[in-house]
Amino acid sequence: MAQLYYRYSTMNAGKTIDLIKVAYNYEERGKKVMVFTSALDNRFIEGKVVSRAGLSRDAIAVSEETNILQMFLEEDAKGKVDCVLVDECQFLKKHHVQELVEIVDSCDVPVLAYGLKNDFRNELFEGSKYMLIYADKIEEIKTICWCGRKATMVGKIENGKLVKTGPQIEIGGNEKYVSLCRKHYNDGRLGE
């Protein structure tokens, strides 16, 4: 029985590397995978998942209007799709998550979705909220704060200081965001 997996973490935990590894493992065994990523994440090339370590692979860019279920059914009709992988799932809309659920429940195909859980304001993203509601398995991918403790928060940096207000979605990498433990997120310390 297929399941919907939600694998979440803060920044720099290796979510994209894990997705690329899973895709490789399926394909190495002759299985067909579909990889999706958010069209909002424009740091690299649209239609690619790219890890900070430099690994990348092609993906289907998902916008608000994208019907993931329809795209899956069309591709599956050409040849059985064995697994669906989603990067940056925090940017999905409710209907996208429900389409992933339909792929799992009606087509019996596993879906593994990777993303952040909370934003720099410590609020859930829409995609994260619905992944927490619908996922069969929820798994944390761990990373650490500068102090060595487990990082659970995403901090946003502006002018060398931690900020906790502003628009929820501002695409950026290490120049804009940092993973912090709860203590250092709350007290605003970005390093020793």
Residues 6+ apart with CB under 8 A from 132: 6, 117, 124, 138
- pLDDT for 148 equals 94
- pLDDT for 56 equals 72
For residue 71, the one-letter residue type is M
- Residue numbers annotated as active site: 88
Q: What is the mean pLDDT of the chain?
A: 90
How confident is the model over 92-135, as pLDDT tens digits? Answer: 999 999 999 999 999 999 999 999 999 999 999 999 999 999 99
Residue with structure tokens 């050409």? 78
Whether pTM exceeds 0.85: yes
How large is the average pLDDT for residues 15-29? 93
- Statement: residue 138 has pLDDT above 90: yes
- Helix ranges (DSSP H) in 8-159: 15-28, 68-78, 94-107, 126-134
How confident is the model over 40-57, as pLDDT tens digits? Answer: 766 656 677 777 667 778
